[in-house]
Amino acid sequence: MLLLRRVCFLLPSPSPRAPLAKPLPLLLRPPRTLPSAARALASMAAPAAPAGGTAAMSRDAFRAAVTNTLERRLFFVPSFKIYGGVAGLYDYGPPGCAVKANVLAFWRQHFVLEEGMLEVDCPCVTPEVVLKASGHVDKFTDLMVKDEKTGNCYRADHLLKDFCKDKLEKDQTLSPEQAEEYNKILAILDDLSAEQLGAKIKEYGIVAPDTKNPLSDPYPFNLMFQTSIGPSGLSPGYMRPETAQGIFVNFKDLYYYNGNKLPFAAAQIGQAFRNEISPRQGLLRVREFTLAEIEHFVDPEDKSHPKFGDVSDLEFLMFPREDQMAGRSATRLKLGNAVSEGTVNNETLGYFIGRVYLFLTQLGIDKDRLRFRQHLPNEMAHYAADCWDAEIECSYGWIECVGIADRSAYDLRAHSDKSGEKLEAHEKFAEPREVEKLVITPSKKELGLAFKGNQRMVLEALEAMGETEALDMKATLESKGEVEFKVCTLGKDVTIKKSMVSINIEKKKEHQRKFTPSVIEPSFGIGRIIYCLFEHCFYQRPGKAEDEQLNVFGFPPLVAPIKCTVFPLVKLEKFEVVAKKISKALTAAGISHIIDMTGNTIGKRYARTDELGVPLAITVDNTTSVTVRDRDSKDQIRVEVDEVASVVKEVMDGQSTWADIMWRYPTHTASAAEDEAEP
């Protein structure tokens, strides 16, 4: 899944790398002023905390601090909590909804609007025949084991992976040979069959984590939620495991809408569903999630991109398959070089990798904890030209958040074959071209006499033959007079005689070329991106009390759930009148804000909104001018009441930075009351 990778019914998950010998500490800090956490992680030891900063924390402690703050401030909470909750289901609260809405709004601007994409919105309930064609019904599975006494279910590969990682991280008595074996298991985990997984589980004595009971042999479990369409139950369907199939089945109409021109892209944002066997890792592995997917249709003979030059100079962490297989680390590569040298298959794929990099870093993802990892040979589908994952490092390790794949023409061909509808594009020639063309002419009369009611299915199967198969049939018919031919829709072989079909290669003049387009697919797991964004933006700073740490989300204005707050310094009517006037101006400017007239000290109100990630706070302490405070630096300036809304809008829209504003307005020294922090 891409996210939840949308092609996971065909591609295994990324091969895990060998785990580190011990958990790595994370430094909690304002991202603007301290070194990147990626360097702290790479050093395998926390750097010394800066003056006034916080001490390093373990991954688990850091994650607990982030999650506690997110749940306490209602960014997200377990669904149906009063009934005990359901694993893998979460509710977004008000600030979480706002962050998600801001991320999706920027996604639409960055991709749909800037690239002129066609956005669609398709149903979540999908007929079985569609997902049969795509391969999901047969292959969208994970291997599952059951507790033989309680019936509790677990993913077999997760149990084996956890066992090997636990041994490598905690068992000080491991011999080099044993360590090598466990590392090898982790490297080939995705290639193990059900029988091989079961054998390793038994060999290592792995039991059910909760009860220590023995486990069943692994068996495949389809991850889709099944349903039926209509009251009769005769029309089976599924909750969609991805949004892409709705785009593929609408290709013909979208192509017409686009003036029968290629290339073009269609996009969709929507809910997808995956019945995870044993959900874990919070928002990173859930049963219902939001996907944002793009299907960029392109001529397979021309995958250049007119705007590739806009991103070719970008340089960022890339992890080609050769480096992975050689045991090397990701390195910074220039995107233009990666494409020209063939590391990235083509310009269009490279263009979207660059655009994904810009999208994620502008959201607030730390560029030093973002890499693009190429799929290994064992992950690649046979039809795929190239695949890369945008992986973001968080306390759970490197997490795949976006998949960018060149899927060739597989999807459109699969739906063409199943539906009988030609999902093709065409290129008109300036001058007619003489080409050799395979012509298959079945004899309807002979087929009708031989197959009666099955005539249509045999005829369609003959007409759908590829050139190689047809020429082989022609040779056999000429030498033997008849041939056995498999008709998939009948599910059996039939005997075709020479009188039933004519197969020839003829020279024809063509005015156009018909072809099935290739698809470049960027697929975004929005929940995963948001969780990694939470971690990348979170830091702590000292409070007034000894050993007190105050939590802050350093969201960029682009994604901050609330852009600013308005606080009357004290409960006076004249200040409240000014606060309401400012609130009205902010609303007119389209700036989300809250106005807090409670009796709490201004320091406590600052601390509360810092936990919500609010970039700016306006303190009404005068009737003509007010104080504006920056969340991360805590610097304050004086601004006239009539100007404050426009100043906030400048910063929120990215027209000016806080540093720019500081040059233009006088600084303000906080009073003791203003500087008091929430205990």
Q: What are the sequence ranges of the domains in the chain?
A: 58-139+223-424+516-555, 141-222, 428-515, 562-664
Residue 454 dihedral angles phi and psi, to the nearest 5°: -95, 10
Q: What is the pLDDT of residue 373?
A: 95
**CA distance linking residue 176 with residue 21, whole number of Å:** 13
Q: From the CB of residue 138, how many other CB atoms can be counted at a distance below 10 Å? A: 12
**CA distance linking residue 96 with residue 364, whole number of Å:** 16
Q: What is the pLDDT of residue 491?
A: 76
Which residues 6+ apart lie within 8 Å of 179 measured at CB?
Answer: 168
- What is the maximum span of the chain, computed from C-alpha positions, in angstroms? 103
Q: Is 400 helix (H, G, I), strand (E, B) or coil?
A: strand
Residue among 4, 337, 314, 321 at smallest CA distance from 140: 4
**CA distance linking residue 510 with residue 507, whole number of Å:** 10
Predicted model pTM: 0.80
> Which pair of structure tokens corresponds to residue 642?
């009539």
Residue 292: pLDDT band (50, 70, 90) is: very high
The rounded percent of the chain whose pLDDT value lies above 70 is 90
Q: What is the pLDDT of residue 19?
A: 32
Q: Is 144 helix (H, G, I), strand (E, B) or coil?
A: strand
Q: What is the pLDDT of residue 465?
A: 84
Residue 192: pLDDT band (50, 70, 90) is: confident
Residue 656 dihedral angles phi and psi, to the nearest 5°: -140, 150
Chain mean position to CA 38: 21
Q: What is the pLDDT of residue 278?
A: 81
**CA distance linking residue 225 with residue 509, whole number of Å:** 50
pLDDT, average across residues 405-425: 93
> Which pair of structure tokens corresponds to residue 565?
């707050």
Q: What is the pLDDT of residue 671?
A: 54
* Topology match between the domains 58-139+223-424+516-555 and 562-664: no
- The residue with tokens 């695949």 is 387
**pLDDT tens per residue, range 332-352:** 999 999 999 999 999 999 999
- Asked whether residue 42 carries a pLDDT value surpassing 80, the answer given is no
Residue 40: pLDDT band (50, 70, 90) is: very low
Amino acid identity at 344? V
**Fold assignment, 562-664:** Rossmann fold (3.40.50)
Residue among 143, 156, 170 at smallest CA distance from 200: 156
CATH 3.40.50.1240 fits 58-139+223-424+516-555, yes or no: no
Query: 118 and 258 in contact (C-beta within 8 Å)?
Result: yes
> Which pair of structure tokens corresponds to residue 396?
């759970």
Alpha helices, DSSP H only, in 373-443? 410-419
**Fold assignment, 141-222:** Herpes Virus-1 (3.30.40)
> Which pair of structure tokens corresponds to residue 533?
């964004």
**CA distance linking residue 153 with residue 278, whole number of Å:** 7
Buried b / exposed e along 413-427 (16+ C-beta atoms within 10 A): ebbbeeeeeebbbee
Residue 466 dihedral angles phi and psi, to the nearest 5°: -75, 170
Torsion angle, CA of 464/465/467/470, rounded to 10 degrees?
Answer: -140
Q: What is the pLDDT of residue 509?
A: 81
> Which pair of structure tokens corresponds to residue 546?
């000894």
Residue 139 to residues 14, 143, 223: CA-CA distances in angstroms?
17, 11, 9
CATH of domain 428-515: 3.30.720.200
- Asked whether residue 29 carries a pLDDT value surpassing 60, the answer given is no
Residue 55: pLDDT band (50, 70, 90) is: very low
pLDDT, average across residues 163-187: 88
Whole-number average pLDDT of the chain: 87
**pLDDT tens per residue, range 522-580:** 999 999 999 999 999 999 998 887 788 999 999 999 999 999 999 998 888 899 999 99
**CA distance linking residue 5 with residue 402, whole number of Å:** 8
> Which pair of structure tokens corresponds to residue 563?
């852009």
Going through 526-624 in order, the beta strands assigned E by DSSP cover 538-542, 549-553, 564-568, 593-595, 616-620
